[in-house]
Chain A
Amino acid sequence: MNQSRKNDMLNRRRFLQLLVASAGGAILAACGAPNPAAEESSTNTGGATSAPAAESAATSAPAAESGATSAPAESGATSAPAASGGTTKLTVMYQQNELSDDEVKQFMDKNPGITVERIDNDATKFKAMLTAGTPPDLFRTQGPVVPNLVERGIVLDLGDYFNSSSALKVDDLAPANNLYVYKGGRYGMVKDWSPDFNLFANKAAFEEANVPLPSTTEPLRYTDLSELAKQLTKREGDRTTRMGWGNPEGLTMVRTLQIVLAEQDQNLYKPDFTAIALAETSQAVAFLKYVFDLAKENVIWNPLNPSPSWAGDDFVKGQVGFVQYGYWYSGMVSTTKDAAVGGDKAVFLPAPTWSGKQLNPTISGTGMVAAKATKNPDAAWKFFEYYMSGAPAQTRAKSGWGVPALKSLYPQMPQETDFQKQVQQVLQESFKYADYTLAANPYYDDTVFDTSWTSNLEQALRGSISFDQLIQNVESDVNAAIADGKAAIG
């Protein structure tokens, strides 16, 4: 960009700022703002109530923290009110089934100075809150989105807090937490994780189709899976009473594709992440063609024959032959043992491989991050620590719905039933291939890829575009999103 355009931009930016400011001011004036301090306080992040506390916290809190580590609950209770003279309010955007009301209450009982409000996960609401400059103090996200959140200045670097925490030691963190590390900062943690590409097979379905159960030690090739999917699919007239393979993707298509490419030392994006290299990477096209063919043969759930619910639900109901999920899904299979395919009616298998090289990391890494705009980073950290190392973390570890985020909690994974033991056996082997960190693109939210893929796959299956066109469309959608993101980040 040349100099004159830069100046130009600056002036216009000024203009817009002015406009927004005047508009905002006028609105407040016209509507007779209930308190004249409202505008001031929002720009000063809290004005008299907590801004000074927040500022000093950012620099000195870790030190204070390390001093008071023996009684973290107490220090929280005293330091927050000391600054504000009242209670500190935290907003946490998280799902209820991952953060129960009891857990929230327990935290508040231990930290009388902090009130926590949990709000449901809602993408639309989150965007609105973000735009208004009032994001939730802590929120749920997926690891591969973190670089984008950092580039946009949304999330807070928790590195100093980690370094001085006694509850969360960096060398105790499972490798999956590396998804939350970006450009030297540590922005959060996974709540738990799994190698995401293992398979769960429905024993009865294999028996019925007269297909031997695959080995629990040797990985299958993806090409074998497509055969299995065909053999296990069962139809009655127009109805698919059993779909061979529930989902041909660990969790999202784009990240699955990235892992398949990583097996072959290829990358989905250009080295500087400024564009996707889809059509030109023959290995990428080959994998997408493979999925497209499966969809076309209708042996996986697809846009023209979608799952009545979701593949995991279908699996325990016996409506699919096998599904591809990580260890976390064994929690669901175990807890629904009354279902058609609960408990040991299922078997846990190694992750398939495309090229022969095995790679089985987490590609979702769901966890928690703190907002950069939070006014109470200390209190937020306190809750973060509680959620990641306190009672909720213990509960999660024992539930079997994911590998704990802390290595020290690994032994707590359930190993009581035969199924759980079988799962553990395969899981331990899978760990060998799990230590790989997905290279996330910092310029866009990669759900754009999946949205575009699904939409264009549907069009291709309906015959309105060719497979080549599908690839072209996905490429151009993704590149547009990357370009927009890059321009916005500046």
Chain B
Amino acid sequence: MSDGLVVVGGSYAGLQVAASAREFGYSEPIRLIAGEPVLPYQRPPLSKGYLTGKTTPAMLPLRGEAFYRDAAIDVELGRHALRIDPHSRTVELSDGRSVRFDKLVLATGARPRPLPVPGGDLAGVVALRSLADADQLRALAAEAKRVVVIGGGFIGLEVASALVSAERSVTVVEAAGRLMARAVPPVLSEFFADLHQARGVRLKLGCGVTALRSVQGRVTEVLCADGTSEPADLVVVGIGVVPNVELAQDLGLACDDGILVDGCARTTAPGVFAAGDCARQPHPHVASPTVRLESVQNAIEQGKAAASVLAGSPAANGAVPWFWSDQYDVKLQMAGLPQGSDRVAVRGAVEEGKFSVFHFRAGRLVGVDSVNRPAEHMLARKLLAAGVALTPEQAADTAFDLRGALAASAEASP
């Protein structure tokens, strides 16, 4: 028996590598350095139902204890990796022990980008990534009357939708001119701006933050670049994440806004893999040469790809990327990564809050964003995976049979 597999990071990607490696027949020891004091858990609800209380702590585990026992995965809770020595192939843990590895997976994730202004680290200023962050946010929100969310992306808007109430005002301050500007087209930004305003959230768009003011160390006010200010007793910062690449850099792995990997999650060092938010990969459904994807689905697929190599039958990650965001009772689901799309077509009725936006690049379908159209989202993933030829006119025509187009495409190229 070898020293086996050590996985650094106990969230979706790390857990998936361990689980799939076992499923695919890897029989050497597996050790998961989970870092946090609790078994791997779901993160998406932390900015949604967990804040409202709809999702309870008991609903969060990704797997029960029985799984780790049955799969013989040794989980190190509450200990993280401090250093990795490539020569002796050992990981030094925060409790002073060292563990040896034959294969290594870095699933180190990402951390919230800190707010780069004076006062960004005051009491009452929080970011959201971990369960501990969510517990802190919940506790602070229970006492808060005026919440300012800095950043109008998915996390910020989900938090806004969870926290706004008759007793608690929420203002979202966003530097870009529209919401979720990096991820969705203007028609969706406008739809969600209307939605949030209708629910009582104030939006300040095109508004940078210059500083936070405090009284006795606690945040009291957010100062904006346009000279205005917002009173606040709680500030939530959601301005993106920074990949955790420090261990990889120490190992001498190639990094560029993420640990560089191939389609099978292999880094530039033999026997060392990276997966999840920390990894940058080439991807058949993405236009740019490489991409760093921040999603549950990618963490799972990349984890499976790494596991396939460990088990001796490599299978690259080629699944259509998908994402979702729940804000109030509106379900936004995105399939594909439509960077640089040159044309969009809207299918369905925006005013009824049930529609999809189809993105085209050079005449090819490259992505579909669906609002309260879960069946269309599922179908879109299949259309994108199969590379079905579709025109913007067909996409916009609700009488055009998308399911039929998929079936016809399958028949034409079995």
Report if A and B associate in a common complex.
no
Residues of A near any B CB (own CB < 8 A)? none
| Contact surface of B with A, Cβ cutoff 8 Å | none
